[in-house]
Amino acid sequence: MSTPDPELELWKARAAIFEYSYDEVLAAIKHQDDKLNRTLTATAFLTAAAVALFSSRGGDVLFEGSGTSVRLVFFVVFVVSVVFAVASMLAAIGPTAPLSALKRRHKKRGINRPESLLFYRLISTDPKWDTYLEDDETTLYRRLAKNFHDEAKTLSHRNNYKVARSQEASAFVQLAILALALLGIFSSMKFAMDTRWKLASALVLALLVLPLWDVANMHIYQFPVRASRLNYALVALLTLLVGVNLLLGLYGHSQWAAMYSALGGFLATRLAIARRWPATALLTAAIAVAVGVLVA
């Protein structure tokens, strides 16, 4: 009975361990792609609904003192939001960097990257691929363990990229949904203009408050998250200022300025989810715009 090779057993064990990491990261990427595909499908249905609603018959709607069509503006906001959302989703689904650039970067840094037994593009361009059948088992398991280890790290960075772009896409999808809802509210001829403005204002404010409600529930149910108190305080201040502007719009203040401030503030709160300090800058800019509308 032959004695097991200690080095072979060592590399087998390492390959098995890092295979778990590789499988978990790969599953996370597949899950993220599934979410993006479902969001793309939902966006297609939303677009069909928006086109049908905008094309429906009904008198045009104008804010007081303005000749701009309310329905047209909200439809344009919807279309632009969908375009940015789809662009972000497609970028997230696609590859993150060209392979040639990666290879050049590794060569410049003097990194001797091992031949891959996993990555299809490296396999397809590997001139020594056929010779690996002649390698001993220890060499192959060493290479496999290093491949699992390296690819798990590479794919984890790719998944971080996908998550960031998905959050951007989600922000624009939410803005598109808000624009579609506002289009529906102002397309209804059964309500007076003041009533439609009140309904639209209530909807915008409710959606602006949602991040505060979310973080409150996270604390109640002990969700493991580190929230920025500064950013949530800025969200509360922004909601207050937007609410005042929308209320003044009901009594003859610039309605378009108030609505643009509300839409911009809403988008800022959704884009603020991704990173802390850029979020602070976004929310501060939205607050400055709301203050400008208030004092104008």
pLDDT of residue 79: 97
pLDDT of residue 250: 86
What is the pTM for the complete model shown?
Answer: 0.86
Amino acid at site 242: V
Residue 86 CA to residue 96 CA, distance in Å, equals 16
CB 272 within 8 A of CB 283: yes
pLDDT of residue 102: 47
Residue ranges per structural domain of the chain = 1-189, 191-296
User: 35: which 2 tokens?
Assistant: 């979410």
pLDDT of residue 196: 94
pLDDT of residue 110: 46
pLDDT of residue 225: 72
Radius of gyration of the chain (CA): 27
CB 234 within 8 A of CB 282: no
Helix (H, G, I), strand (E, B) or coil at 119: coil
CB 217 within 8 A of CB 195: no
User: 295: which 2 tokens?
Assistant: 């004092």
Residue 18 CA to residue 185 CA, distance in Å, equals 54
DSSP state at residue 114 = P
Residue 139 CA to residue 7 CA, distance in Å, equals 10
Sign of CA dihedral 40, 42, 48, 52: negative
Residue 201 CA to residue 285 CA, distance in Å, equals 21
Q: How many residues would you count in the chain? A: 296
Q: What string of pLDDT tens digits covers the 296 residues of the chain?
A: 567 788 999 999 999 999 999 999 999 999 999 999 999 999 999 999 999 999 886 667 888 877 889 999 999 999 999 999 999 999 998 755 554 544 554 455 444 555 788 888 888 888 888 888 888 899 899 999 999 999 999 999 999 999 989 999 999 999 999 999 999 999 888 888 899 999 999 999 999 999 999 888 888 888 877 778 888 999 999 999 999 999 999 887 789 999 999 999 999 999 887 666 788 999 999 999 999 999 98
Residue 40 CA to residue 183 CA, distance in Å, equals 21
CB 178 within 8 A of CB 207: yes
List alpha helices for the chain, DSSP H. 6-55, 70-93, 99-108, 120-124, 137-187, 193-220, 229-250, 255-271, 276-295
